[in-house]
């Protein structure tokens, strides 16, 4: 429960303020929730496994060694995700345009994509 609370606070802090300060375009907060939550949760696992906290670590449990393993796992997951995303982005970029032209964006994507207006203001 402690790890869940800490992770929730970290996710909320990222989504609530840091995302806007960094000017990230993550409208569904996928990275803010799943990315930050996964990173904090993975690193925090080293702490909640401490035998002193009732964790499953044995008598020879080393927080430093486990923390290093968790950090390496997080770095591997980030690199794997970034590499896979870059490959997917490159493939999609070759197949379809990623943006509309300026006139289509200015006019509105409802008109340029569908030929109709979504709202009649």
Kindly write down the DSSP assignment for every residue of 65-108, as one continuous string: HHHHHHHHHHHHHHHHHHHHHHHHHHHHHHHS-SS--HHHHHH-
Radius of gyration of the chain measured on its C-alpha atoms: 21
pLDDT at 121: 65
Tell me if 120 is assigned to some domain. Answer: no
Confidence at 92, pLDDT banded by 50, 70, 90: very high
Tell me if 33 is assigned to some domain. Answer: yes
Element (H, E) at 45: helix 36-48
Q: What percent of the chain has pLDDT over 70?
A: 99
Greatest mean pLDDT range, 59-68, 77-86, 96-105, 108-117: 77-86
Residue-range definition of the domain harbouring residue 46? 2-114
Tell me if 20 is assigned to some domain. Answer: yes
Tell me if 85 is assigned to some domain. Answer: yes
Query: For residue range 36-85, what is the model confidence (pLDDT) as tens digits?
Result: 999 999 999 999 988 888 888 777 899 999 999 999 999 999 999 999 99
Tell me if 93 is assigned to some domain. Answer: yes
pTM: 0.76
The secondary structure of 5-25 as a DSSP string is HHHHHHHHHIIIIIHHHTT--
């Amino acid at each position: 429960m402690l790890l869940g609370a800490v992770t929730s606070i970290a996710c909320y802090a990222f989504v609530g303020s840091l995302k806007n300060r960094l000017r990230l375009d993550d409208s569904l907060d996928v990275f803010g929730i799943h990315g930050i939550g996964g990173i904090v949760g993975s690193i925090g696992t080293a702490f909640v496994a401490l035998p002193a906290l009732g964790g499953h670590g044995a008598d020879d449990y080393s927080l430093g060694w486990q923390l290093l393993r968790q950090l390496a796992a997080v770095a591997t997951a980030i690199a794997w995700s970034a590499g896979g995303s870059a490959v997917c982005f490159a493939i999609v970029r070759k197949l379809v345009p990623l943006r509309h032209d300026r006139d289509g964006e200015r006019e509105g994507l409802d008109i340029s994509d569908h030929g109709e207006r979504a709202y009649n203001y």
